[in-house]
Amino acid sequence: ALTIGIVGLPNVGKSTMFNALTKNNVLAANYPFATIEPNVGVVPLPDARLTRLAEIFGSERILPATVSFVDIAGIVRGASEGEGLGNKFLANIREADAICQVVRAFEDGDVVHVDGKVSPQSDIETIHTELILADLQTLEKAVARLEKESRIKKESKPLLDNALAAQKVLEAGTTLYAGGSAAGVDLAMARDLGLLTTKPFIYVFNLDEDQLADADLHASLRSLVAPADAVFLNAKLEMDLMEMSPEDAQEMLEGFGATESGLNQLARTGFHTLGLQTYLTAGPKESRAWTIRQGWTAPQAAGVIHTDFEKGFIKAEVVSFTDLDEQGSMAAVKAAGKARLEGKDYVMADGDVVEFRFAL
Ligand code: GDP
């Protein structure tokens, strides 16, 4: 499964947020998938459509899609020099599919900031700098190798040019995710060289409770990280919310001028940043969301349920959730002529409720 690595300077609230995230593991333990590692938080992707499907089909249970977060402890200034935790840290980031930086915005005289003052901008720059330095080291070796190779093989020339273009972006202090494409860097090619800053970034701003509804502050923090996504939450509050009933949690959130918990926002943002989407299946046993990549075809989507479904794919019977919701039953949707039979070239759309036909 794709994972999002959580990074951040010490004392910004990573552990607090991660503890809130892993509270879900108890819940997730009922899900039909493999064991959950202690440093992995599996967060269900909130999806109200599943509740409605379960009502229509009388499903016994609901299985939402999930997003996995990995706690990557140990970034400090100098991590790129590979000292102490540095190497392990970089190896862990290399394995993650996206990077989520927790940034401290809350003020609390009792919680020491490593640099002596709270500054979201300089925290972000510190981590960027470490990752950029690590990438520049990787590139130094790659460029030397590609220069030799391209003298013999002309196929290596584009790889070399791309590596040199990436180097320029990084030398200007910009991550490849933020500045690579605009500078003509092929990010997929750069990713193959193991460059960390090609990964998508998400920023979580850990705020004071009274900053949760401060739209001006959010806008100014957002502008620090654009075009990457930003999530605003209070890590301590998220911990408390996990211990409440959904109703009490909702009431508490509304009291702070928020509509949805920060962890829910983080799950949705993470899912989107990873380039994922879901399709739905429903029946008396379960209503379920299945995770696919954006742009996948019906047979590829079927393969997520079972590889045999992909191999033996014949047709997909598809209805849109909106039609099903309106009509109230599968029979009514069919009677209204709104059920479609789709073939192997069909590209899945968000909100498709599907039944696959296949031959074994
Ligand atoms: P980490 O080093 O990034 O993992 O940070 P921790 O989660 O251990 O938090 C460091 C300290 O900050 C702890 O004492 C937390 O209780 C406190 N803390 C975490 N989040 C918040 C927050 O949102 N507001 C305030 N005031 N304190 C927080």
The answer to the question of whether 143 is labelled as a binding residue is no
Cα distance from N-terminal residue to C-terminal residue, the chain: 26
Residue-wise burial string across 250-288, b where 16 or more C-beta atoms lie within 10 A, e elsewhere: beebeeeebeebbbbbbbbbbbbbbebbbbbbbeeebbb
Which one of 108, 123, 210 would you pick to mutate in the ligand 1 pocket, going by the greatest count of ligand atoms within 8 A of its CB? Answer: 108
Regarding the beta carbon of 322 and ligand 1, being less than 6 Å apart is answered no
Q: How many CA atoms lie within 13 A of 279 on its CB side?
A: 28
Regarding the beta carbon of 206 and ligand 1, being less than 6 Å apart is answered yes
Preceding amide of 32 cis, omega within 30: no
Regarding the beta carbon of 234 and ligand 1, being less than 6 Å apart is answered yes
CA distance 290 to 350: 11
Distances (CA, A) of 144 to 81, 110, 136, 137, 186: 20, 49, 12, 11, 19
Q: What is the pLDDT of residue 230?
A: 96
Q: How many CA atoms lie within 13 A of 34 on its CB side?
A: 5
Could you tell me the fold of the domain covering 295-358?
Answer: Ubiquitin-like (UB roll) (3.10.20)
The atom of ligand 1 lying closest to the CA of 8 is 3
Q: What is the pLDDT of residue 24?
A: 61
Domain boundaries along the sequence of the chain: 295-358
Split the chain (360 residues) into runs of 10 and give each run's mean pLDDT. Answer: 88 89 61 59 89 96 91 66 65 91 87 77 91 94 95 93 96 94 93 94 94 92 92 94 89 88 92 93 96 95 92 95 96 95 96 92
